[in-house]
Structure 1
Amino acid sequence: MYGTPALPPDFVSLPYANPDAPKGGRVVFGNTGGFDSLNPFVQKGTAPWQLGFWGYESLMGRSWDEPFTLYGVLAESVRTAPDRSWVEFDLRAEARFSDGSPVTVEDVIWSYQTLGSQGHLRYRGMASQISDIRQTGPRTVRLEFNTDNRELALIAGMRPVLKKAQWQGKDFTASGLDEIPIGTGAYVVSDFEASRHVTLRRNPDYWGKDLPFRRGTQNFDEMRIEFYGDQTVLFEAFKAGELNVIREFNAEKWDRQYGFPAVLRGDIVKTEIPHRRPSGMTGFVMNTRRTPFDDWRVREAMLLAFNFEFINDTITGGVQPRITSYFSNSDLAMRSGPVDDKVRKLLTPYSDSLLPGALDGYSLPVSDGTARNRGNLRQAMGLLNQAGWRVSDGVLRNEQGRIFAFDVLLRQGDTGNQTVIELYARALERLGIAVSVSTVDDAQYTARISAQDFDMTTFRRDLSLSPGNEQHLYWGSSRADTPGTRNLMGVASPAVDGMIDAMLQAGTREDFATAVRALDRVLTTGRYVIPIWQFDVGRIAHIRELRYPARLPIYGDGIGFLPDVWWYQAE
């Protein structure tokens, strides 16, 4: 995107992979919930999230050690215009699907057109920005763009390539458990039982095993995913030896509950993986399409009532720091205090639509750490009064007599967030607000989120050091009301759209960073999410036979680390 790639054309392997890692072994992971589909590329159904990463290749692949750089996978070479108005890929002659058939330009074109029109919403945004896609040589495909967007040339290389012939006469959107998309990756589904387990085995004839990009990766012969009703049952299964690895997101639990016999014997190893990626946003999102969360004063009151310091101390022992903005923990984060001149220049055209704090400075409310949180609750009540809500007979009502009540939608088995909401609800009761909790299974949760049928729910968006077109998917106004949108809060802000465009059109890294900081400021002052704690270090407990390279990527324990560069080594 900017500058030149860090690796030379003759690189041996990715810098955080061990090119001499042994192949073999089996690893068992655990998921909560269930699945009713094995097609991760369509909107319908719930597929194990890992499938899209383990079984399918794209034209280019990302190095998790450098933002905004891609290297060839299915493509052996790439050309693009200086202004990034078009990009051309040459397919490797040896590229194959898992059934042994060659990957053709026709497959690439069909995949892009089908995913762009019938696939999951995350694939559709780019389709409208492609003016033409055509074959320009025996193994060459060219895409031309109709938008001034420098990232499109990279995004074009990141789409999965599926086999056109498999879907002739079939409905791609209706596939579930009956039809598994044939992939180009190292792993294929070998066994499954709906909502119970799925097993993937490494294809011994995988065409790309000798590519430098893949050397030292995809080392396990078999990877299995077991499904459990909730995180508590999953943890007990790990303690019992049914699982080989588990990620822990609670620092206090990591310190206090990982002293079981297998850990004490050394059969289970506790590993901590640092990273340098943005915090992203984790917390509870408010649906601004609905009253009362369509009023920013109400959302600010909700933030004031959320006693983070007390809740964090209760849940995590106060160890994990709070997320302070969408890109906190990185150079892309909004700066404290008033905006600098560069950010102000970007935001000034949208000053009429900006919320308080966007230009002058904003930070999340901080409580006194006590359970009562009286000071912040007084401020919250003041804002609620300004918004037309007043307490009558111990109940908060508006001028029309409507009671302030809302529901929190949670997945079945999400015990951690249930505890947080219970603590939060006690504070809201003191404001006269009634909170209910709806706990539903995975299928119902997915359906309700897709239909935007919620008041408040859990929220997590992992953000990278190279944010791009996906930002339109996350908070762009064009899809705010589209069923299945990832814009859960319903952001419809000209300033947000403008900052995303400025980010995508930036010609230098400095201009890009300025636009992202401005975007971060608009999103944070929008008060759409109640942020909780960040995961500042990856915590992985695993059997001692699982190993990983000493050299870690800057993204740490992100996608592309476990299981990609790990291996099994018997004692």
Structure 2
Amino acid sequence: MAVLPRRDFLALSAAAAAAALLPGRAFADVATGVKLHGLSAFGDLKYKPDFAHFDYVNVDAPSGGLFNFSPPNWDYNQNTETFNTLNSFTSKGDAPPRMEMCFDTLMVRAQDEPDAVYGQLANGVILSADRKSYEFSLRPEARFHDSTPLTAEDAAFTYKLYKDNGHPKITQALKFLTDAVAVDAHTLRLTFSGGQSARTVLNVVQFPILSKTFYTANPFDSSQLNAPLGSGAYKVGRLSAGTWIEYERVADYWGRDLPVNRGQNNFEIIRIEFYQNRTAGFEAFKKGEILYREESVSRVWATGYDFPAFTSGKVVKNEFPSEKFPTMQATAVNQRREHFRDARVRQAIALCFDFEWTRRNFFYGSYERSQSCFEKSDFRAEGPPSPQELALLEPLRSQLPAEVFGEAVIQPASDGSGRDRKLLGQAAKLLAAAGWKRSGDFVVNDKGEKLSAEFLVDDDIFVQIYSPWVANMKAVGIDATIRLVDSAQYQLRQATFDFDLISAAFNFSATPTLDDLEIIFHSSTANASYSRNLPGTSDPAVDSLVDAVGAAKDRDNLTVAMRALDRVLRARLDWIPSWFLANHRSAYWDMFGFPEQKPDFGFPVETLWWFDKGKAAKIGKA
């Protein structure tokens, strides 16, 4: 699933470094008028200005080899089943995952900190006294792949282009950007109106910087299959449109020895192949045509690894701990359809999902029931609201469901029979209370219209998983169906909100920003095509709580605001929580090395692992 999915600046003076490293600081307290080496939203920066490399890398990792994998996550307009464009940063079209590896950014995330970024293209930044402008010093040695300099003019061009034509995830973060100016060849100034969240810049500095020359000569749209000019550790190599793509390691990459890059980008070639269904991808893995995959199908993980390469020890199964990110996996109920606007209808649909039966029969006991929009984090609401949460919720009481002020809403456990009569009886009563009366096999409204609900899916596995849910919905009178479509149609219908019910999974950053939440929950994105606000949530009370998250001055206040938001979202049931997994289920041909300690806030196998010639020789893959 997409996800789509995610933060103290270059300090050249001891005074600036000391200011940035004070414990418990909020972004609003970061020093202005001095050059900083990194930025975090709250708390300490782990790495000092003179750090040599991130702790989670192997700086002695060898270079070389092929890494052919099925990406477990992707971003922007990317697709794992096909591709028809190499522009990953526009809203339309289907781009291959990992195009972002071809580009550098002003700053990059440290994956062992919840919210820290350090300089890549930028070797420093100065925050203005009014905190509206950021002046970045760009490294003069930065180069595009054709050896031309990457300048502030390219960066200013990029941000203006993104603001006008970028993917919604990008434009949402730039909506308060008022200007992007190249002060000189190596100085970029970004100016905001003041309406942005203080932490917005943490997202903005991670946007890929494009070539002004290339995108002046070529349109910035989804029609491009010629490789864009980049500056990153990789560039587009060979490809077959919609079938496979290779990213080649740039031999003379200008930034190879930067502290933020050392020990990473070790493979000579990273190759992605595209399959229309999971079975074909798994068969390719069994034959060694794919070398790494994360297994998303519990049945396959439990029973499918009995092929010769696995039994002989050439293929390894391993579980790595998940990141400490808030996670949401849920089914969106599209309230642009009038009959889903009544929360009782959404609750009735939720009661028809028998997770306990599904877990036993489809998941082999491996998944847990999701209850929160922010699972696996401190942002998950528990018990009744705290006094601090109530301070945010009470002014909104008249706009909120009564359930918000009691125990945090929990989806009830079923008896595991697959058709829990008690829960289905509750669902039928909710539909009747919402004005839907039984007429034959279905419920109808006062106009005689049936209540219909269609799940939109793009994989056979979801047809299997949702069929029992559909059967229960039919049992209470809902005309429920499943529509299986190809990847391209699925992407388009999701982007244009042409569905009744659709499932999605998201990882939020460990320190969520206003932009992270607006794209999914805020009324400003309810009707913005290609946004992640799939249910069409448009509620002033939710907006107020999202704004409170953006305005939080420290982690304690952030946690309070996130928990209050979680309570409201769970009571509204715009998203019906489904399930989550505690670990990465990874399978790979035993020919790779990887760091002993996985970082807590990232798992980019393709950049942290390396090709091990000795292991490869033992399994005949040298």
State TM-score, norm by structure 2. Answer: 0.88
Q: Residue type of the partner of 1:35?
A: F
Structure 1 partner of 2:550? 504
Deviations 1:180-202 (A, max 9, x none): 32112111111111111111110
- Whether contact under 8 Å (1:65, 1:554) holds in the other structure is yes
Tell me, which stretches of 5 or more residues in structure 2 are unaligned?
Answer: 1-40, 72-79, 615-622
In structure 2, the residue corresponding to 1:124 is in which secondary structure? helix
Q: Aligned match of 1:181 in 228, 243, 246?
A: 228
Q: How does 1:271-350 map to 2 (within 5 A)?
A: 271-335=318-382, 337-350=383-396
C-alpha displacement at 1:169, in angstroms?
4.5
Q: Given the alignment of the two structures, is residue 545 of structure 1 paired with residue 598 of structure 2, yes or no?
A: no
Q: Residue type of the partner of 1:471?
A: L
Q: Distance between the aligned counterparts of 1:154 and 1:246, measured in 2?
A: 30
C-alpha displacement at 1:66, in angstroms?
0.7
C-alpha displacement at 1:530, in angstroms?
2.3
Q: Distance between the aligned counterparts of 1:422 and 1:174, measured in 2?
A: 35
Q: Cα 1:153–1:33, aligned 2, differ >3 Å: closer, same or farther?
A: closer
Q: Distance between the aligned counterparts of 1:304 and 1:519, measured in 2?
A: 22
C-alpha displacement at 1:276, in angstroms?
4.3
Instruction: Indicate the larger mover: 118-127 or 192-201.
Output: 118-127
- Whether contact under 8 Å (1:208, 1:214) holds in the other structure is yes
Q: Distance between the aligned counterparts of 1:152 and 1:485, measured in 2?
A: 18
Q: Aligned match of 1:46 in 81, 87, 94?
A: 94
Structure 2 partner of 1:536? 582
Q: How does 1:47-86 map to 2 (within 5 A)?
A: 47-52=95-100, 54-81=101-128, 84-86=131-133
- Whether contact under 8 Å (2:114, 2:601) holds in the other structure is no
C-alpha displacement at 1:105, in angstroms?
0.5
Q: Aligned match of 2:84 in 23, 27, 36?
A: 36
Aligned pairs, number: 563
Q: Distance between the aligned counterparts of 1:85 and 1:535, measured in 2?
A: 40
Q: Residue type of the partner of 2:611?
A: Y
- Whether contact under 8 Å (1:312, 1:533) holds in the other structure is no
- Whether contact under 8 Å (2:418, 2:468) holds in the other structure is no
Q: Distance between the aligned counterparts of 1:458 and 1:294, measured in 2?
A: 18
Instruction: Indicate the larger mover: 432-441 or 542-551.
Output: 432-441
Structure 2 partner of 1:570? 613
Q: Distance between the aligned counterparts of 2:112 and 2:472, measured in 1?
A: 43
Structure 2 partner of 1:5? 45
Q: Given the alignment of the two structures, is residue 370 of structure 1 paired with residue 370 of structure 2, yes or no?
A: no
Q: Given the alignment of the two structures, is residue 162 of structure 1 paired with residue 210 of structure 2, yes or no?
A: yes
Q: Distance between the aligned counterparts of 2:591 and 2:213, measured in 1?
A: 41
In structure 2, the residue corresponding to 1:357 is in which secondary structure? helix
- Whether contact under 8 Å (1:29, 1:225) holds in the other structure is yes
Structure 2 partner of 1:444? 489
Structure 1 partner of 2:20? none
C-alpha displacement at 1:205, in angstroms?
1.1
Deviations 1:206-242 (A, max 9, x none): 1111111111111000011111110011111111111
- Whether contact under 8 Å (1:476, 1:487) holds in the other structure is yes
- Whether contact under 8 Å (1:282, 1:460) holds in the other structure is yes
C-alpha displacement at 1:12, in angstroms?
2.1
Q: How does 1:61-210 map to 2 (within 5 A)?
A: 61-81=108-128, 84-146=131-193, 147=195, 149-177=197-225, 179-210=226-257
Q: Given the alignment of the two structures, is residue 386 of structure 1 paired with residue 429 of structure 2, yes or no?
A: no
Deviations 1:258-283 (A, max 9, x none): 13221121111112111342451113
C-alpha displacement at 1:495, in angstroms?
2.0
Q: Residue type of the partner of 2:92?
A: K
Bigger RCO of structures 1 and 2 (CA < 8 A, at least 6 apart): 1
Q: Given the alignment of the two structures, is residue 478 of structure 1 paired with residue 524 of structure 2, yes or no?
A: yes
Structure 1 partner of 2:620? none
Deviations 1:384-442 (A, max 9, x none): 1110112111221112111111211111xx12211111111111121122222222222
Structure 2 partner of 1:418? 463
Structure 2 partner of 1:233? 280
Q: Distance between the aligned counterparts of 1:207 and 1:415, measured in 2?
A: 45
C-alpha displacement at 1:252, in angstroms?
4.3
Structure 2 partner of 1:522? 568
Q: Cα 1:542–1:88, aligned 2, differ >3 Å: closer, same or farther?
A: same
Q: Residue type of the partner of 2:104?
A: E
C-alpha displacement at 1:540, in angstroms?
0.9
C-alpha displacement at 1:135, in angstroms?
2.9
Q: Distance between the aligned counterparts of 1:60 and 1:2, measured in 2?
A: 17
Structure 2 partner of 1:19? 59
Q: Aligned match of 1:489 in 535, 538, 546?
A: 535
In structure 2, the residue corresponding to 1:457 is in which secondary structure? strand
- Whether contact under 8 Å (2:329, 2:579) holds in the other structure is yes
- Whether contact under 8 Å (1:249, 1:535) holds in the other structure is no
Instruction: Indicate the larger mover: 76-85 or 211-220.
Output: 76-85
- Whether contact under 8 Å (1:119, 1:173) holds in the other structure is no
Q: Residue type of the partner of 1:545?
A: M
- Whether contact under 8 Å (2:87, 2:220) holds in the other structure is no
- Whether contact under 8 Å (1:42, 1:120) holds in the other structure is yes
Instruction: Indicate the larger mover: 214-223 or 74-83.
Output: 74-83
In structure 2, the residue corresponding to 1:473 is in which secondary structure? helix
Q: Distance between the aligned counterparts of 2:579 and 2:239, measured in 1?
A: 35
In structure 2, the residue corresponding to 1:15 is in which secondary structure? coil
Structure 2 partner of 1:464? 509
Q: Given the alignment of the two structures, is residue 430 of structure 1 paired with residue 478 of structure 2, yes or no?
A: no
Q: Residue type of the partner of 2:257?
A: D
- Whether contact under 8 Å (1:279, 1:323) holds in the other structure is no
Aligned-residue RMSD, C-alpha: 1.6
Q: Cα 1:232–1:82, aligned 2, differ >3 Å: closer, same or farther?
A: farther
C-alpha displacement at 1:505, in angstroms?
1.5
Q: Residue type of the partner of 1:369?
A: G
Q: Residue type of the partner of 1:464?
A: S
Q: Distance between the aligned counterparts of 1:195 and 1:329, measured in 2?
A: 35
Q: Distance between the aligned counterparts of 2:129 and 2:562, measured in 1?
A: 23
In structure 1, the residue corresponding to 2:587 is in which secondary structure? strand
C-alpha displacement at 1:298, in angstroms?
0.5
- Whether contact under 8 Å (1:311, 1:420) holds in the other structure is yes
C-alpha displacement at 1:131, in angstroms?
2.6
